[in-house]
Structure 1
């Protein structure tokens, strides 16, 4: 099943705009740099790595050596052997990753790759390197917040879960040496804020449960283990401190900057996929319509006619689109059957990217006479007292106290008229616009940082 899915993975690269002259000169001598493949976690997609890729590029790492994979059907099955529709087992994910690495090696001619994995992605990488033949093709492995010893470790609870440290999968993966000879390993973890590395089961919905793991769970015996203080489960993969640790491990030098250096033009592309059976597929959606508008950053109102239109083909691609890094855009994405209409407003897209992905979701349940505005931060969570999350100056509801564990907040607005909604996360503001008389609309404010 996984092998068949792999044939639907989008091409590894598309021609992008030339980088700025200064950056191009700095990376030209580094064309022999090892390719880096970034692997997302459970339910996620390649697009979460764009800011990390931009940070590597901003430090001179060659853009044609940076890849992010969309693994098909990224939600885990209920057990390590269950064949469930639109879900994947560890072996499904491992086979898909192996196929992608082979393609990267063939395209680049490189002898080996570096693999970087967030959460479940790190476990998939370890399975590939130890049991899937990957050791011959991989030079470095970096796991970021991966539950290497389980989200829980209880023999009597879900023994066939891939997240049970006392279960079959992780026991086999951790038997003997937890690293593989000939491959360098780095394990990144939080000191205390990783929701999946907690002694209490509060983050799993069961505060009274003792999980059998703690903050040290993502560490690996025999690896270089680095603690990133104050990072949550996703920041430990996608945040600037994580990037700095990744860069240092791969290049053996500190980055010049952890900031993202804007390019003069950003050529954007990506895949439109959709949810099926209440789960993401990471597979192309054919016939989706994507329309891009420039908008006023203070009102969210469109500045004129569309600046880009596309209908997705067999690879689900909606680009390429030449964007201005300083411009604010609205991306309107319509399902092929027009059942879902998505409006996406994002933080400024400062550099070119092949993984500006869109997912057509199932609409959240809500009032029939209202439209939803969703604040989302896919590369980090929200924490009470740590983060400011607001709709029109009012604190968002539903953000739980304790360890940061929620990456979105929603508010419903009446559809009697269009309105401007000011969303804010910490020091960043995204202004969106609702539209009347259409109950299919989901307005999304996506914060990249």
Structure 2
């Protein structure tokens, strides 16, 4: 039977490593090394991002695992080329992927990781749609043999909606064939998970936009979805509720990591923060935006395909001003793989990433200093709308990829404004970015603040084809 408990009320137990927290850190005592069995190696973890997202969202989660002693070379993340689900799972749609394609991509990555590491099993951790692929793989793709533990953060296991007759061909319909099949009871107890894999779900108590009883986020405000905040839970899994988290935070936040770590090891994490590296080595790919065949002028659907020929410059900048501190510290024109690195950064140093590519705005991306190395620092070239490019002034984008902005809960501001454009001030949190238009003026610092994290950049002229992005890390 499932168990539902607050994160802080969880009982400590011995996890699959069979080690206490001290043993995880130190191994067997040296004086008893000849008598104690060797510690089991950490199994590989494969992270699976959500709908429309990228592997880059797992950067801070990976840093937390590394800080607690999980080897970096045992951490992997898929980057689905077309991460958006189809409107109808059975109907081909340009630039989108089916549930079967998603599962096949994950299966191939698991097999690659197992071969590369020599491991017989992996741990799968997914957010949102990523959990659909995990469940599908374990149920239909042979994952019962290869997956020891499955962790789903915010996965809409019983649908984003469960309205009979409404878009039932969609992967997120709770009454449609995809989820109905995955949720079919496995036994007399009504379990919805497949063994011997061990399962954990993490959900919010009320603040997940895709586990909401009201249809506002599916274009049907005021109408019931027949889904509740408990929709991500699964019978037969261990189900954890963490108060106040938004949809993405159920996978990418510190509290979600703590739940994952306890589930895998049976112990609480030993450290509260992320261990800093003096010279983080960064790598990633430059991607763009696909053209929408139904509205080519919009050109805005997401993909994770490389953007060959894109040019990148990196500048060290003042953390409080975004002002460049000299010549570029790294330059590259990317090839067919889209890879822009490697680049060795300095601990505590803020950087500006400038992406130039035909058909795109010159994108000035400012980020907080990097705490540790990562191969998932993916950068996306952005486009300006036609009206934005014609209007004198600047366009400033403030984005939080690993969570949403919630003015009721968070302390935030953009260029001194406490109200962010496009971010609801009431109801369930559901906006991860804000887009602010600034009047024409001399170049100056523009600053975004969120719960103590500050990112500073510069205003660049939109009429000259430039766009400023301030990206939060946490």
What is the TM-score normalised by the length of structure 2? Answer: 0.86
Q: Deviations over 1:81-116 (max 9, x none)?
A: 111111011011111111111111111111110000
- Which residue does 1:302 correspond to in 2? 324
Q: Report SS of the residue matched to 2:410.
A: coil
1:129 equivalent to 2:152? Answer no
Select 1:389's aligned residue among 412, 415, 418: 412
Q: CA deviation at 1:135?
A: 1.6
Structure 1 residues 441 and 182: CA distance shift in structure 2, 3 A: same
> Which consecutive residues of structure 2, in runs of 5 or more, have no partner in the other structure?
1-23, 29-37, 187-191, 292-299
> Does the CA-based 8 Å contact 1:415-1:435 persist in structure 2?
no
- The question of 1:272 aligning with 2:253 is answered no
Q: CA deviation at 1:203?
A: 2.7
Structure 2 contact 360–381 (Cα < 8 Å) conserved: no
* 2:269 is equivalent to residue 255 of structure 1: yes
How far, CA to CA, are the matches of 1:301 and 1:38 in structure 2? 35
Number of matched residues? 425
Equivalent in the alignment of 2:336 = 314
- Provide the C-alpha distance between the structure 2 equivalents of 1:43 and 1:31, rounded to a whole number of angstroms: 36
- How do 1:394-433 and structure 2 match up within 5 A? 394-395=417-418, 396-400=420-424, 401-433=426-458
In the aligned structure 1, how far is the partner of 2:405 from the partner of 2:451?
10
CA shift for structure 1 position 138: 0.8
User: What is the alpha-carbon distance in structure 2 between the residues aligned to residue 26 and residue 417 of structure 1?
Assistant: 56
Q: Retained in 2: the 8 A contact 1:52–1:238?
A: yes
Contact 1:417 1:436 in 2 (8 A): no
Q: Distance in 2 between matches of 1:403 and 1:274?
A: 30
Equivalent-residue separation in structure 2 for 1:98 and 1:120 (angstroms) = 15
Runs of 5+ unmatched residues, structure 1? 1-23
- Structure 1 counterpart SS, 2:52: coil
Measured at CA, do residues 406 and 175 of structure 1 come closer, stay the same or move farther in structure 2, by a change above 3 Å?
A: same
Specify the alignment match of 1:291 in structure 2.
Answer: 313
Task: Name which of structure 1's ranges 326-335 and 420-429 shifts more when overlaid on structure 2.
Answer: 420-429
**Deviation for aligned residue 1:447:** 0.7
Conserved? CA contact 1:390–1:423, under 8 Å: yes
Counterpart of 1:117? 126
Structure 2 contact 284–375 (Cα < 8 Å) conserved: yes
CA contact (8 A) 1:415 1:438 kept: no
When Rg is computed on C-alpha atoms for both structures, the one with the higher figure is: 2
Contact 2:460 2:468 in 1 (8 A): no
CA deviation vs aligned residue, 1:306-340 (integer Å, no higher than 9, x gap): 001111112111000000121010011112x2632
Q: Report if aligned partners of 1:417, 1:435 keep a CA contact under 8 Å in 2.
A: no
